[in-house]
């Protein structure tokens, strides 16, 4: 990867405080004081530093260009076949990966995009030397590493959502933020694997639909003469997998 993608991303104090605010609120509501919370955070920090075998973070910079590249590859008729599936693309040429990158994100280097998307298994080179798109959405993890910026944004978004819910006043004019959860504590290990596959398939389809809705409305707003100030909106989804001991300790049903 280039030096730009390897550089560390700085989180400023206000971003760190926004990330920690909901945790502080819940700890305070549980009866903890500031000293107890600070000691626990310090121990958690030390546990992370001492944890063996954890996947490493890889800095990729702003993740939006990579998502834009995949979105254009999945939708633009130049890059899809008659069945609507993304074509395999040569690296260079009139209709190529290089063309795709220049169209979707002109400021992103072709080799940088190739390195990031290949590393996180979004694309692969086939036997004919062309590049095949493997995922309709930008994947940000591999067996060895996690992309830092998308993970940091996800945590920040989740914390900010909780913080906004905690701070929201009844007559607030801003859109109401929400979170929803579906769970069950009575699945076996095999059932958990089936759920993971099922929910991944359904989630990819749903998030792709959300992404297309946002893209269509963003383009519509961009052509409006009354666009004015804009907001960043979206939807984040995550899976849940608790330890076996939690399921075993639940109260028996009568």
- For residues 129 and 188, state if they share a domain: no
Residues 95-137 have pLDDT tens digits of 999 999 999 999 999 999 999 999 999 999 999 999 999 998 8
The angle at the Cα of 100, spanning 94 to 104, to the nearest 5 degrees, equals: 140
> Rounded distance, CA 76 to CA 104, Å?
10
> Rounded distance, CA 101 to CA 113, Å?
7
Domain-terminating residue out of 74, 105, 133: 133
On whether residue 40 sits in a domain, the answer given is no
On whether residue 233 sits in a domain, the answer given is yes
On whether residue 4 sits in a domain, the answer given is no
Write out the two tokens for 33: 């004081």
User: 80 - beta bridge partners?
Assistant: 86
DSSP helix, strand, coil percent of the chain (3-state; round to 5): 50, 5, 45
On whether residue 129 sits in a domain, the answer given is yes
Domain-terminating residue out of 114, 133, 152: 133
Classify residue 221 by its DSSP letter.
Answer: H
- Can you give the pTM of this predicted structure? 0.72
* CATH code, 68: 1.10.10
On whether residue 113 sits in a domain, the answer given is yes
Strand (E) or helix (H) holding 75: helix 64-75
What is the domain count for the chain? 2
Residues 99-108 have pLDDT tens digits of 999 999 999 9
> Which residue range(s) make up the domain with 107?
64-133
């Amino acid at each position: 990867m280039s030096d730009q993608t390897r550089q560390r991303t700085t989180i400023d104090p206000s971003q760190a405080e926004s990330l920690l605010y909901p945790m502080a609120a819940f700890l305070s509501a549980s009866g903890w004081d500031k000293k107890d919370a600070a000691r626990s955070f310090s121990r958690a920090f030390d546990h992370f530093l001492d944890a063996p075998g954890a996947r490493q973070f890889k800095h990729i910079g702003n993740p939006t260009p990579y998502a834009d590249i995949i979105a254009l590859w999945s939708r633009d008729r130049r890059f899809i076949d008659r069945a609507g599936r993304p074509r395999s693309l040569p690296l260079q040429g009139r209709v190529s990966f290089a063309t795709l990158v220049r169209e979707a994100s002109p400021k992103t280097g072709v080799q940088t995009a190739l390195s990031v998307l290949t590393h996180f298994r979004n694309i692969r080179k086939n036997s004919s030397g062309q590049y095949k798109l493997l995922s309709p959405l930008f994947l940000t993890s591999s067996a060895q590493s996690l992309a830092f910026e998308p993970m940091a944004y996800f945590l920040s978004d989740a914390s900010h959502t909780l913080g906004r819910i905690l701070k929201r006043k009844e007559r607030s004019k801003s859109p109401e933020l929400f979170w929803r959860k579906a769970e069950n504590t009575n699945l076996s290990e095999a059932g958990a694997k089936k759920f993971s596959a099922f929910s991944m398939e359904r989630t990819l389809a749903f998030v792709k639909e959300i992404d297309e809705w946002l893209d269509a409305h963003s383009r519509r707003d961009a052509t409006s003469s009354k666009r004015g100030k804009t907001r960043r909106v979206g939807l984040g989804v995550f899976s849940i997998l608790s330890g076996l001991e939690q399921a075993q300790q639940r109260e028996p049903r009568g």
